[in-house]
Amino acid sequence: MTTYDMQREILKLKKQNGIYILAHVYQSQDILEIADFTGDSFALSEAAAKAAAQTVLMCGVRFMAETVKILSPGKKVILSHREAGCPMAQQLKLEELSRLKELYPGYATVAYINTSAELKTICDVCVTSSSAVKIIGRMKGKDILFIPDPNLGAYIAKQLPQKNFKLIGGGCPVHSHITTRDVEQKRAAYPNALLLVHPECRPEVSEMADFVGSTTGIISYAQNSDKREFIIGTENSIVQHLQFGNPDKRFYPLSNSCNCCDMRLTTLPEVLSCVRLSGGEEITLPGETLKKARRCIDEMLRLGNE
């Protein structure tokens, strides 16, 4: 079957089976083309909350599919590949977070959305990279226990000096590998290019950037800029998407190894199996987890849209 034939079959079957397809922007171009909605984590959460279809297919990683299930417990939610997880979402166990909360009484616990549903049950609010500064800035309290990404946490803390942040160890293994040496090398190779990075990069890398933002933040910055060359410091699918959508501009990866293998697990044939209702994994969560984790996501949507 050709890519075109597969896409046509997916479009036919998703309509026939009433499936709404959400795809994170790290997915490949052939998947983005057959999705009903594409975006960063915050936009996907909002779209999930509004989706009318009874079955939602999330092409992305597990925490994203869990977020859809938490927001729409009555719907059938399918994760595109059962092994697609985000390593950062597994870094902290429930017991460890409970102990941390005891160490920092009076602190509001803020979770990056890249956490398991279980962890969200004992957090006050969650945030995404595009909504974090706005949401935490709108919170009443001063003291924030931010989990699990100290790089994103450091970036937010810099924007909000009026708040007191407690950060813990961890972070995205893909973005954390990028070093200041990568920046120096790429700046030397492409002296006219702007450097755009995701806040999951280490603070010393983000500090060297011309722009720091979420995946879709980086995309719209590059699209709207009158500059012609860009070094991209996030998952390398974004380099491809930008080059595809903006053939008159040039895009270079900040690091050749910034590839998220979990996001790459989903392929077009996999999506075809899902719309045939024979692939992926249906997400199920205990009722209590759904109820408690929802508070933290609802609070994100409330403060994000205030």
Q: What does the DSSP assignment read for 179-214?
A: -HHHHHHHHHH-TTPEEEE-TTS-HHHHTT-SEE--
CB hemisphere CA count around 181 (13 angstroms): 2
* DSSP state for residue 279 in the 8-state scheme: S
Residue 92 makes CB contacts below 8 A (sequence gap 6+) with: 115, 119, 147, 148, 168, 170
Taking contact as CB under 6 A, which single stretch among the options 44-52, 117-125, 187-195, 257-265 is the one that binds ligand SF4? Answer: 257-265
CB of 105 to ligand SF4, least distance (A): 29
* Comparison of 148 and 279: residue with beta carbon closer to ligand SF4: 148
CB of 197 to ligand 13P, least distance (A): 11
71 binds, among ligand SF4, ligand 13P, none (CB under 5 to 8 A by kind): none
> Interface with ligand SF4 includes 260 (CB under 6 A)?
yes
> Interface with ligand SF4 includes 66 (CB under 6 A)?
no
Specify whether the CB–CB gap between 159 and 138 falls below 8 A. Answer: no
87 binds, among ligand 13P, ligand SF4, none (CB under 5 to 8 A by kind): ligand SF4
**What are residue 39's DSSP bridge partners?**
24
128 binds, among ligand SF4, ligand 13P, none (CB under 5 to 8 A by kind): ligand 13P
* Comparison of 144 and 174: residue with beta carbon closer to ligand 13P: 174
41 binds, among ligand 13P, ligand SF4, none (CB under 5 to 8 A by kind): ligand 13P
129 binds, among ligand 13P, ligand SF4, none (CB under 5 to 8 A by kind): ligand 13P
Q: What does the DSSP assignment read for 222-275?
A: HHH-S--EEEEES-THHHHHHHHH-TTSEEEES-TT---HHHHT--HHHHHHHH
Write out the residues near ligand 13P by the rule CB under 6 A.
Answer: 40-41, 114, 128-130, 172, 198, 200, 214-215
> Interface with ligand SF4 includes 114 (CB under 6 A)?
yes
> Interface with ligand SF4 includes 274 (CB under 6 A)?
no
CB of 41 to ligand SF4, least distance (A): 9
State the Cα–Cα distance between residues 184 and 240, nearest whole angstrom: 22
The structure tokens listed for 179 are: 């070093």
153-192 positions binding ligand SF4, by CB under 6 A: 172, 174-175
> Interface with ligand SF4 includes 31 (CB under 6 A)?
no
> Interface with ligand SF4 includes 61 (CB under 6 A)?
yes
Query: Which run of H or of E encompasses 29?
Result: helix 29-32
* Comparison of 144 and 172: residue with beta carbon closer to ligand 13P: 172
Which of residues 35, 86, 196, 268 is near ligand SF4 by CB under 6 A? 86
Would you call 146 helix, strand, or coil by DSSP? strand
From the centroid of its chain, how far is CA 159?
20
The structure tokens listed for 245 are: 């959508």
